[in-house]
Amino acid sequence: MPRNAHAISRRQISENAIKVLYRLHKSGFKAYLVGGGVRDILLGLQPKDFDVVTNATPEEIKRLFRNCRLVGRRFRLAHIVFGRDVIEVATLRGHHVDSGEKISKTNESGRLLRDNVYGSIDEDAERRDFTVNALYYDISDFSIHSYGGGLQDLESRTIRLIGDPETRYREDPVRMLRAVRFATKLGMSIEPKAAEPIQGLAHLLKDIPAARMYEEVLKLFFAGKALENYHMMREFGLFEPLFPQLEALLKEYPNGETAKLLQEMMANTDERVAQDKPVTPAFFYAALLWYPLSQRADDIALESGLSSYDAYNAAMGDVMEQQCRTISVPRRFSTITKDIWQLQLRFERNRGTKAFRFIEHPKFRAAYDLLLLRAHAEGGALAKSAAWWKSFVEGNEDQRNVISRSTNKGSRNRSSNQRRRRKPSAKSAPKSAE
């Protein structure tokens, strides 16, 4: 598609991406803006990333850019760093023909372990996952190269795989998650041929490194489409390989507290993203795993006879360790998640005048938000406790004093009514007159 037939302008592309494209072009290499950056501009969206492909090798790219670092083992990439902005540059990929194990390698299920085979733009397009990502903006003449009917699929709002769907999913099972994410993000439908094998191949996600899955979860649930992605993942059987503890509870209690909390939490996350409020992995996992934690704590208390508080503390490590087998949650977040969990156990004991000190805790707000979500899911006594805290948190200083004093007075009255009158001891009994 020549320049006069499309609406993409260099003004819509980041300044740093333009710099990279022009330096590669002026150095005698082919250079293209590729994938999501081209796709989103054509759809009238603002791209988050601008990726570049070239026929220069990673080593040649590094020689051209002093601010370049090479990353990746499965496929070698160049990151051109401009402060906080990073432009990812890949070498055009080719087909696996007579390549040695050091260049390309697959495992028994067909997943690519190493993929450093270079080729032409035509070969690279055939190696792309979806047709709507096989779009190239050529900096030399400002034309667009579309492969596999990518432009037509953009118009028909269809997510279509390039090549045989089962083979492509086996090469990289994360493509199943990407299909879901693109469908919800772009308001498209997954082609039936591409959707059909997903449920039978969902188990392959268990073989993906946990560190990579952490990044994929951020893209799925922190971009404003958490609720839609959650429902579609469960529909295709993609939720269980990532969150096995949760899926077990959801299957046992389809309409229980776990399902209600997840629905509330996903909707709340989308609302915060829409309002440009911060969302953190620490709170996300605290809410996500609260009921698996409660169940594990109950089991420990039953087996060992520990108090509820001690059982919860023991269960925290077990639940987080099991989750990290599929999704590697960094310690800087998992530590805060445990803090939020511990504070849940303190809400009932810190009402009254103790509440003034409690709300000063640095993680109080996150713990309070989780309390409100739990109250929506559970109702009953927890809803009453959450209502008390809501009135206290939202009240001014005078209102808080009244609320805390009335709570303390009620507590003292209950204690005095329940206290038994003690019999006088022999030492305190009155002496008889002699």
H or E stretch at 381:
helix 380-394
- Structural domains present in the chain: 1-156 (3.30.460.10), 162-254 (1.10.3090.10)
* Per-position b or e across 374-398, b if 16+ CB within 10 A of its CB: bbbbbeeebeebbebbeebeeeeee
Token pair, residue 142, equals 């400002």
Phi-psi map region of 379: left, alpha, beta (phi>0 left; psi -120 to 50 alpha): left
Instruction: Name the band, by pLDDT with cuts 50, 70 and 90, for residue 409.
Output: low
CA distances from 113 to 170, 172, 207 (A): 11, 9, 11
Cα four-point dihedral sign 113, 119, 121, 122: negative
**Residue 298 a catalytic site member:** no
Judged by DSSP in three states, 356 sits in: helix
For residue 153, pLDDT beyond 90: yes
Q: What is the DSSP letter of 138?
A: E
**Residue 51 a catalytic site member:** yes
Mean pLDDT of the chain: 89
Closest CA to 135 of 58, 214, 50: 50
Residue type, 346: R
Angle between helices 244-252 and 308-323 in degrees, nearest 10: 120
**Per-residue confidence (pLDDT) for residue 73, from 0 to 100:** 72
Number of helices and strands in the chain (H, E): 22, 11
Using one digit for the tens of pLDDT, what is the confidence trace for 72-103?
876 789 999 999 999 999 999 887 554 444 44
Using one digit for the tens of pLDDT, what is the confidence trace for 245-285?
999 999 999 999 999 999 999 999 999 999 999 999 999 99
* Per-position b or e across 215-228, b if 16+ CB within 10 A of its CB: ebbeebbbbbbbbb
DSSP 176-227: HHHHHHHHHHHT-EE-HHHHTTHHHHGGGGGGS-HHHHHHHHHHHHSSS-HH
DSSP 94-147: ---SS--TTTEEE-TTS-EEEE--B--HHHHHHHSSBGGG-EEEETTT--EEE-
Using one digit for the tens of pLDDT, what is the confidence trace for 320-344?
999 999 999 999 999 999 999 999 9
Phi, psi of 373 (to 5 degrees): -65, -40
The answer to whether 138 and 124 have CB atoms below 8 angstroms apart is: no
Mean pLDDT value across residues 413-428: 46
CA distance 70 to 49: 18
Residues in CB range of 254: below 8 A, 6 or more apart:
none
Token pair, residue 78, equals 């160049």
Chain centre to alpha carbon of residue 293: 19
Closest CA to 22 of 137, 142, 140: 140
**Per-residue confidence (pLDDT) for residue 434, from 0 to 100:** 36
Residues in CB range of 294: below 8 A, 6 or more apart:
312
For residue 127, pLDDT beyond 60: yes
Residues in CB range of 334: below 8 A, 6 or more apart:
282, 285, 320, 324
The residue from 124, 129, 270, 339 that is catalytic is: 129
CA distance 79 to 86: 6
**Per-residue confidence (pLDDT) for residue 103, from 0 to 100:** 45
Q: Which residue has the tokens 């829409």?
A: 274
pTM: predicted TM-score of the whole model, two decimal places: 0.84
Token pair, residue 236, equals 């295709």
How big is the chain, counted in residues? 434
**Residue 276 a catalytic site member:** no
**β-strands 85-91, 51-54 pairing:** parallel
H or E stretch at 344:
helix 331-344
For residue 109, pLDDT beyond 90: no
Instruction: Name the band, by pLDDT with cuts 50, 70 and 90, for residue 432.
Output: very low
Judged by DSSP in three states, 124 sits in: helix
